[in-house]
Amino acid sequence: MKAQFGIIGLATMGQNLALNIARHNFSVAGYNRSAERTQALMARVKDEPILPTFALSEFVSVLARPRAILLMVQAGRPVDEVLSELFPLLEPGDLLIDGGNSHFADTERRIREAESRGLLYLGVGISGGEAGALKGPALMAGGHVEGYARVEPIFKAIAAQGLDGPCTGYFGPGGSGHYVKMVHNGIEYAIMQIIAECYDLLKRGLGFTPPEIAAVFAEWNQGELESYLLGITVDILRTRDSETGGFLVEAIKDAAEQKGTGKWSTQAALDLGAPTPTIAEAVFARIVSALKEERLGAEKILPGPTPRLSLAPRELLEDLRKAYALALVTAYAQGFRQLQDASSEHGYGFSLAEVARVWTAGCIIRARMLGVMREAFQREPNLPLLVLAEPFRKLWHEGQGSLRNVVCLAHRAGIPVPAFSSTLNFLDSYRTGRLPANLIQAQRDYFGAHTYERLDRPGKFHTRWEEAPRC
């Protein structure tokens, strides 16, 4: 019997997806360059319809035609290396699916190569981590729509179940699926940084212990602020170190790593001219955190204020909750704005309401607020920024004073809050009808003759500034 679906790359994510698919009664063939991983998968198999293979030609031969093959290999050159081996073995009409965190531009290049060979190609962002892969991820697909139609029954079966059905969706041609996943990861960076800043303000600013901070976050997580990332943070803060008996989070080195997708999101936003400063600051915060030895040296020669907040804990907690809510919404708002701009630039045709729906379950940035965000985009598909619509506009009215207070208190205490600060600067800039960019345009025209526009009449203008009359 031929397998209905094939997976190349059987590390933990690949193994878990294979088991997930097989447990929904779709037969799966698996292949990995290292036979040990294939054997590790089979050691987990009970009665699931999974067929192990130990050569790429064998793998291709056991798949039902037209073939559907999911690549779960490291993004970048490894994907191209596998494709170069796989292309000669395939036939027109076969479907290739890249389920890794590939750059959207690489996906578009590979789609063109696949088309030249008569093949179908999908770039699919998969979120949810190892547990999601086994129990139900969020799937963001782009590429050939007929390819998605072919595997949609499988994707719907294995995806997380959200508010309105399975968390899988087709988002358009080319690299659109991987673009959505890239922005998802940028938002993820921002949310993690915002939570980390709350943790730092409570720990260093108020002297709270990890369990006390966990209690605060657990209370927030009961209402409208409920999210996966906040929930796992509660678990982390309550976890003991089996070696020392202390709290494990305090034994972990304060240098955050990254795999590149957050950086790509910021780079792509800059290419578009999309305003995502909170996301960008989260990326830079990780970069600064990696300078551990330099920071230890600078701590000795660049003294600052004592990191204690001059506010009663009860007052700060209320301000911090409101600031967190506003920053959280702003991170999503910036990500959705980038998707909107990318849709216009690349012709993806994104439905932001559909993106929000797919993110309601299974993925790392799932949160209760996403259901309300979906409703906002259903009412106004071209909404330029979430904070302009209710109920998010209300968060600004009720929370801007708290956000200002948190940022001011943190700065006075010398506690860095790049995500909170960038959120406030962004929103203040966005709501300001006249910014000082007129001076910047004049400077550009002075030294480079770049021209400028005027407020009182249309057109482009240039002034010979050295010869112009002065007061």
CB-based contact 362:165 (threshold 8 Å): no
Residue 276: exposed, middle, or buried by beta-carbon count in 10 A (0-12, 13-18, 19+)?
Answer: buried
In the set 181, 203, 263, 322, the catalytic residue is 181
Q: How far is CA 229 from CA 135, 212, 364, in A?
A: 17, 18, 7
CA 42/CA 34 separation, integer angstroms: 13
Specify the DSSP element, H or E, that contains 412: helix 392-413
In the set 108, 188, 281, 354, the catalytic residue is 188
Strands (E), 45-108: 50-52, 68-71, 95-98
DSSP 147-179: HHHHHHHHHHHHSPEETTEESEEE--STTHHHH
Which residue's structure tokens are 């006249």?
434
CB-based contact 133:108 (threshold 8 Å): no
**Is 188 noted as a catalytic residue in this protein?**
yes
Backbone dihedral angles phi then psi of residue 138, each to the nearest 5 degrees: -100, 135
**Is 299 noted as a catalytic residue in this protein?**
no
CB-based contact 200:419 (threshold 8 Å): no
- What is the rounded end-to-end Cα distance, in angstroms, of the chain? 89
Backbone dihedral angles phi then psi of residue 8, each to the nearest 5 degrees: -110, 125
Q: Which residues contact residue 86 at a Cβ distance below 8 angstroms, ignoring those fewer than 6 apart?
A: 8, 56, 60, 69, 96
Amino acid, res. 207: G
CB-based contact 2:63 (threshold 8 Å): yes
Q: Which residues are catalytic?
A: 181, 188
